[in-house]
């Protein structure tokens, strides 16, 4: 996140104005409309990057239930990265395909793809996440501001906090139950002695 990127508003507006073609069903085993690997290959060539066969292999779906949302998020990222600013950003093919391959899986595990278009906070999360994964921060923000905002929006972070709070509540409940049992045992012992 050391380098300054484009204005965040430009990216979130781009996501809000997503063409319907990028919201179509990803093609998995001959079913669906959009061949995600082809779109990613076109994006890489537009950015002046050399595409390796292995890069595109990550964007092939094998299980519709498991891969549909991940590939849909990959399509959204491809649309986002066609923003004019990225053409002069000197991205590497490796960072591009890590973002639209593994990065999309991280986001897709938490949020349905369409929410990254319809929900303002999720649009901002997708834009910030993409910039951060590529080593950029929104224009006009410091590194700490960008990191703080990304963390506060992060669906993954929210899920982690919810899981931690559930575990803490379970521990607290177990302690309360143990204390109640101990108090009942002490009360029964006191009653027996009298």
The residues that bridge with 28 in the sheet, in sequence order, are: 31
What's the count of helices (H) and strands (E) in the chain, helices before strands?
A: 10, 2
Contacts of residue 128, defined as CB under 8 A and 6 or more positions apart, other chains included, come to: 8, 138, 146, 149, 150, 153
Count CB neighbours of 84 within 10 A.
Answer: 9
Helices (H), 30-154: 36-46, 53-57, 64-81, 93-98, 104-108, 115-118, 120-133, 143-153
**C-beta separation of 107 from 129 below 8 A:** yes
CA 156 to chain centre: 7
| C-beta separation of 86 from 97 below 8 A | no
pTM of the model: 0.79
| pLDDT tens across the length of the chain (194 residues) | 789 999 999 999 999 999 999 999 999 988 889 999 999 999 999 999 999 878 888 888 888 889 999 999 999 999 999 999 999 999 999 999 999 999 999 999 999 999 999 999 999 999 999 999 999 999 999 999 998 888 888 766 656 655 666 777 788 888 888 888 888 887 777 767 66
> Would you state the pLDDT for residue 45?
94
Tokens of 44: 């890489």
Residue 65, token pair as written in the block: 């239930």
Whether residue 41 contacts residue 84, with contact meaning beta carbons closer than 8 Å, is answered with: no
Using the structure block, give the residue that is written with the tokens 């919201």.
Answer: 23
Q: Cα(65)–Cα(71) distance, rounded to whole angstroms?
A: 11
Axis-axis angle for helices 120-133, 8-16 (nearest 10): 120
């Amino acid at each position: 996140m050391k380098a300054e990127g484009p204005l965040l508003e430009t990216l979130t507006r781009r996501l809000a104005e997503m063409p319907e073609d990028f919201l179509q069903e990803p093609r998995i085993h001959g079913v669906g409309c959009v061949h995600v690997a082809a779109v990613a290959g076109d994006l890489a060539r537009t950015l002046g990057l050399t595409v390796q066969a292995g890069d595109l292999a990550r964007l092939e779906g094998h299980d519709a239930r498991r891969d549909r949302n991940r590939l849909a998020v990959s399509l959204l990222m491809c649309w986002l990265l066609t923003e004019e600013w990225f053409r002069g950003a000197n991205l590497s093919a490796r960072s591009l395909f890590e973002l639209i391959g593994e990065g999309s899986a991280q986001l897709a595990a938490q949020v349905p793809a369409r929410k990254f278009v319809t929900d303002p906070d999720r649009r901002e999360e997708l834009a910030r996440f993409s910039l951060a994964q590529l080593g950029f921060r929104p224009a006009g923000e410091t590194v700490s501001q960008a990191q703080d905002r990304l963390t506060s929006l992060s669906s993954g972070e929210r899920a982690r906090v919810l899981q931690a709070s559930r575990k803490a509540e379970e521990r607290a409940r177990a302690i309360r139950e143990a204390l109640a049992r101990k108090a009942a045992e002490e009360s029964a012992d006191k009653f027996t002695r009298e």
